[in-house]
Structure 1
Amino acid sequence: MIEQNQPCNQLPKEIKPAFEELHVLKHLKDAKINKKFGYTAAYLFQLVFVLLFHQKNWFRLLESNKAESFPGKDSVYRFLNHTQFAWRQFLLSLSAATVQKVGLLTSDNRVTAFIFDDSMFDRNRSKAVELLARFRDHATGAYYKGFRMLTMGWSDSHSFIPMDFALLSSTKSQINGTTDGIDKRTHGYKRRE
């Protein structure tokens, strides 16, 4: 009898125990990130997550000879850009659980801190990106198109766990506005505001 590969069985052996230990898919479900039909949210999340470790982008993966076994790019992009998914809630709950697990492994005498970082997110080649703005880089004095990326993380001076982030735009130097037709009750609209 030949064993079939399950579509959700795509995590490498090295990453699968971490996913199970941190209950990543449970946090995904608790943040109400789910789909009604087609590929499951867990499958699409794992697929995008594994791409980072293969050092491939979605376009190169679809050009490979295994492209017919993967979902189309439109389903992945719709999954990632869905305005009703609470991605911030997912990241915060996963990070909080991870901090608790790391806290058990470290000494009580170790100093912990929240770190806030404001850095540039350069998108100079972009033209039609939503909320794209023009900023001045204070380190070099040059102007760039893109966003300011505000990141909050937890650190115990040996490890860093990201807790939340925000891509900030400017209303004064904005190049593109928000997309029309977004429901004002969704998480995506609140994030844009």
Structure 2
Amino acid sequence: MFERNRSKAVELLARFKDHATGAYYKGFRMLTMGWSDGHTFLPLDFALLSSGKSAINGMNEKIDKRTNGYKRRQEALLSAPQVIVSMLDRALAAGATASYVLMDSWFTHAPLIGEIASRGLDVIGMVKNDNKRFLVQGRKLSLKELYTAASPVQSKKRGILRSIRTELASGIPVHVVFVRHRTKKNEWLAVLTTDLSLSVEDVIRIYGIRWGIGVSS
């Protein structure tokens, strides 16, 4: 969240819901991309996102369309996955390198995963239990059905429950690891990766880097 609750005339000001509290605020969504080695976090790019549906103010029509300021305003009206692809392209063009793109369940969807994979990067991300479908032996399974089809894991790491290799509906091969929910012991969470060479322990360990960044920020 990037709150501007006292503002009235800020360009592209919009109304958003804070999903942590359920309250609404005026401002923007701030999307940040950074690089981390597990110890240090370096911000590489960011964007303030507005909304066409819940906009309070529009864009200044007099702004010069040749300027970077205009481009930033145009970017603010794009969807977050579209902006993420632009961020990745800018980072790669500037010489940044990485082994994985880590992201939470807001972004772990097949179209964005495909865009990232096409740039030679692997994805590790939390999977939201929604209407996604995974392909297993010609059948399309929901995440809950995929959990039932997955094999139990024997691991020294407590909390790792099951794993399965499957495909997204778009045909991208992935490995999904199921872990016990930390605060809701009767529930589970799912983490997906496009790197099929990783062990279940490594999938969870690497994704933990993103979790640490999110908590500390």
TM-score with structure 2 setting the length:
0.34
TM-score with structure 1 setting the length:
0.38
| Greater per-residue strand proportion | 2
Q: Which one has more relative contact order, counting CA pairs under 8 Å at least 6 apart?
A: 1
